[in-house]
Structure 1
Amino acid sequence: MATSGPAIEVAGAGRTYGSGANRVTALDDVSFTVAEGEIVALLGANGAGKTTLVKILATLLLPTTGRVLVFGADVVDRVKEVRRRVGVVFGGDRGLYTRLSGRENLRFFGMLAGVPRAELRTRAPAMLERVGLAEVADRRVETYSRGMRQRLHIAIGLLPRPRVLLLDEPTTGLDPTEAERLRDTVSELRHDGVSVLLTSHHLLDVERLTDRVVMLREGTVAADLPLAEFAALAGYAAAVTVTIRHPLPELEALLPAEVDVVTRSESAEGTTVELRLPSWGGGMFGRLGALLDRADVVDVQVRPARLEEAFTSFLTRRA
């Protein structure tokens, strides 16, 4: 259902604990929005305030100051309305009844969420199919792998048709295959207009899924950037690792001034140099290619800047 306003609106939100000398500020004047169908990553070091904010959006905590709205409904004054619109997936091994089957868990939590029985009969099988658990739906959850349990958490979170999904560390502990399958499930949600706020220490989740990054630092918004702009904080666009069979002493001197040489090592195969390029532009690669034509190249590897490096660089620059 389309709407003219944001899915999530956080306006000057603050949250403190304790009083006097024991007063702790977890959030301080936090403001940002999430549009309908947008997937936004909420990042920050441990203690930055991410969990506190997610709990406020889930109506498990109240903000001390400011306003937090979900499709215009205030988390303080319209709690029931917010809960109907928000699905929460904290995931992990807890929160499921392991002696029940996946289907039984889904039905139980669906009833708790107020999903009508008639709708459960059709929607539960559809959710199990969507997250790839249809064939094991009647097995006890105690036999499920961690990835299967995580996908069951997603199915439970989606069952009441939430318009906003809060995901906390969805791929923690999953093997690469399970993690990628879970990312596919989450990515498909944008086509249904579901808005997702994702917290994760696995920045591959952020890279694969999100449109934007909101960075918290000591309880405040330190950055709110499109994913590409956040990635650019790494300080380079691409890394090129070149192995040359025979040394080319003048290589570094002939490189464009804006190209950084990060490492240089010698091995039985030859000389390996890692370069960092400021842009992906064809002109830059053309100049580099012309230079390498003069060398006996054994191998060339190219990769984009890693989001982990952008994250670390951001924290370091503003320390």
Structure 2
Amino acid sequence: MIEAHGLGVEIDGATILADVTVALSEPRVAVIGRNGSGKSTFARTLNGLVRPTAGRVEVDGVDVGRAPKRARERVGFLFTQPEAQILMPTPAEDLALSARAAGVPRAEVAGRVAAHLEAFGLAAHANQPAYSLSGGQKQLLALAAVLLGAPRILVADEPTTLLDLHNARRIGDLLLSGAGARQVVLVTHDLDLAARCDVALRFDEGRLAAVGAPDEIIAAYRAEAA
């Protein structure tokens, strides 16, 4: 569902990604690497947040560079900081906005919102000011909003970095449990979470350094870091 061919990104004369070529059909994809390695930039090319300056990337048969709007209809994106994508005053209003944007019929919006609030443990906070939610609750709300759009591919860019252990595990479980219904691309520093994926990519200095079984890729990465 994801293919990159000679993908490169240059920003203000600096090479961020270079010559990335890979084909990914596995349900759960882990993307690991040091800070500044290019992994988040790669993730952002998948729905047009970052435009390639060389090569191309395709998602679900759509060339992202040529048709970013069509790509975003297929690719949901979850940011590290949920505040970046919570737009409305309360969780119920925020999910209603996402439901309407996803084309849910007006008569079904309330029911769809209620179901998502319940599924993500936010029913008791439906009308609470979104700014007053805990960090974990905000990330749950952001994830619920993204999934209301029923994306074919879900990209999560370090979604557990700012969370405590309990909430990090909960978000990780929710992300990976949906694999099969959708393809999940998980950019993470949590190597235990990465190990639960079907394939791992390791980036280093803007290049795709390795692709393979997560246990092998992670073991090599740990050895290099040591």
Aligned with 2:4 (options 2, 10, 21): 10
Deviation at 1:72, TM superposition (A): 0.6
Query: Is 1:30–2:20 an aligned residue pair?
Result: yes
Deviation at 1:71, TM superposition (A): 0.7
Number of residue pairs the alignment of both structures matches = 225
Mapped contact 2:48–2:72 kept (Cα < 8 A)? yes
Deviation at 1:73, TM superposition (A): 0.5
Amino acid in the other structure paired with 2:201: V
Query: Is 1:168–2:154 an aligned residue pair?
Result: no
Q: Give the TM-score taking structure 2 as reference length.
A: 0.90
Q: Give the TM-score taking structure 1 as reference length.
A: 0.65
State the Cα deviation string for residues 54-79 of structure 1 (Å, max 9, x = none): 22112122111112111110002222
SS in 1 for 2:212: strand
Mapped contact 2:102–2:149 kept (Cα < 8 A)? yes
CA distance in 2, matches of 1:91, 1:130: 21
From the superposition, tell whether residues 89 and 312 of structure 1 become closer, same or farther in structure 2 (CA, over 3 Å).
Answer: same
From the superposition, tell whether residues 232 and 175 of structure 1 become closer, same or farther in structure 2 (CA, over 3 Å).
Answer: closer
Higher relative contact order (CA 8 A, sep 6+): 2
CA distance in 1, matches of 2:28, 2:107: 31
CA distance in 1, matches of 2:58, 2:105: 26
From the superposition, tell whether residues 69 and 26 of structure 1 become closer, same or farther in structure 2 (CA, over 3 Å).
Answer: same
SS in 2 for 1:94: helix
Aligned with 2:184 (options 196, 220, 237): 196
- Work out the percentage of aligned pairs sharing the same amino acid: 36
State the Cα deviation string for residues 172-215 of structure 1 (Å, max 9, x = none): 222222122112211210142x11111112223213x3121100
CA distance in 2, matches of 1:11, 1:75: 12
Q: What root-mean-square deviation, in Å, do the aligned CA atoms of Structure 1 and Structure 2 show?
A: 2.0
Deviation at 1:111, TM superposition (A): 2.9
From the superposition, tell whether residues 33 and 126 of structure 1 become closer, same or farther in structure 2 (CA, over 3 Å).
Answer: farther
Name the counterpart of 2:202.
215
Aligned with 2:123 (options 130, 134, 140): 134
From the superposition, tell whether residues 199 and 73 of structure 1 become closer, same or farther in structure 2 (CA, over 3 Å).
Answer: same
Larger radius of gyration: 1
CA distance in 1, matches of 2:82, 2:147: 18
Give ranges in structure 1 of 5+ residues lacking alignment: 1-6, 234-310
State the Cα deviation string for residues 267-286 of structure 1 (Å, max 9, x = none): xxxxxxxxxxxxxxxxxxxx
CA distance in 2, matches of 1:69, 1:118: 35
Aligned with 1:178 (options 164, 167, 185): 167
State the Cα deviation string for residues 15-60 of structure 1 (Å, max 9, x = none): 1123xxxx21111110122216x11111111111122212211212
Aligned with 1:75 (options 45, 61, 64): 64
Deviation at 1:85, TM superposition (A): 0.5
